[in-house]
Amino acid sequence: MVVGFALGIWRAVRVSKKRYDIEPDRVYDIALVSLLGGVIGARVVYILLNPGTESWRGFFAVWQGGLSFHGGLACAMILGYIYARRAKLSFWNVADMVAPSLAIGYAFTRIGCFLNGCCYGAPTSLPWGVRFYENGRLTPPSHPTQIYAFLANLLILWLLTKLEPMRRKPGFVFVAYLGLYSVYRFLIEFPRSGYSASQWAFGLTQAQGVSLAVIAVSAILILTVYRKPAKG
């Protein structure tokens, strides 16, 4: 996560002034606010969703407990909006700037999941199946969904860099990121369901339910608000 965070900052600093008219020094402030909000939100939502295994007493022990990406993103957006208002920056410009960095940070965080042996998928006979050590036992050869996630988010990063030069209203790149991430997350949950992700309703996981809602909202925004090039 730290490696991904550092690479995300590096990328944002490179484009901040040229593409978004945001001073590079502001990027570090935005990154700090986002990190704080992300960790707090991710832990709060994860504990709320897993009351049987998680405790508020271990809230700050992020190396022992899990994190919810959706919770972290929501809280980071709230604090980011507050910071942008106080710093007299366009929130949507800030969101567009950090969207590719989110893909970078998420990709490298999933490498951490792979090394930690969590977030794996269903058993598989494919030659790249991996046995993970969890709860005192070895799993059968399983889908390394963490590696799939790493590769998928690198693809998302590449797509976002292709969307950035398009002349659309502020927020376009960020909304596109939300849609692309949600499509990836919806699909990756299928091999994880019943193994490292619990089924919630209609055979779907909680993350899939949220992803469907975000996909719908993102698609509506892209087909309406961001359909045509921005004027001026």
Q: What is the pLDDT of residues 51-65, one digit of tens each?
A: 767 777 777 666 666
Q: What is the pLDDT of residue 62?
A: 65
* Helix or strand run (H / E) with residue 84: helix 69-86
CA angle 104, 1, 84 (to 5 degrees): 65
Taking Cα atoms as reference points, which of 193, 182, 197, 114 lies closest to residue 148?
A: 114
Distance CA 125, CA 159 (A): 31
Judged by DSSP in three states, 216 sits in helix
In b/e form, how buried is each residue of 36-67, taking b as 16+ CB within 10 angstroms? ebbbbbbbbbbbebeeeebeeeeeeeeeebbb
**Above pLDDT 90, what percent of the chain?**
69
pLDDT tens-digit series, residues 9-65: 999 999 999 999 999 999 999 999 998 998 888 888 888 877 767 777 777 666 666
Looking at 117-162, which runs of residues are DSSP E strands?
A: 133-134, 137-138
pTM assigned to the model: 0.90
**What is the average pLDDT score of the chain?**
91
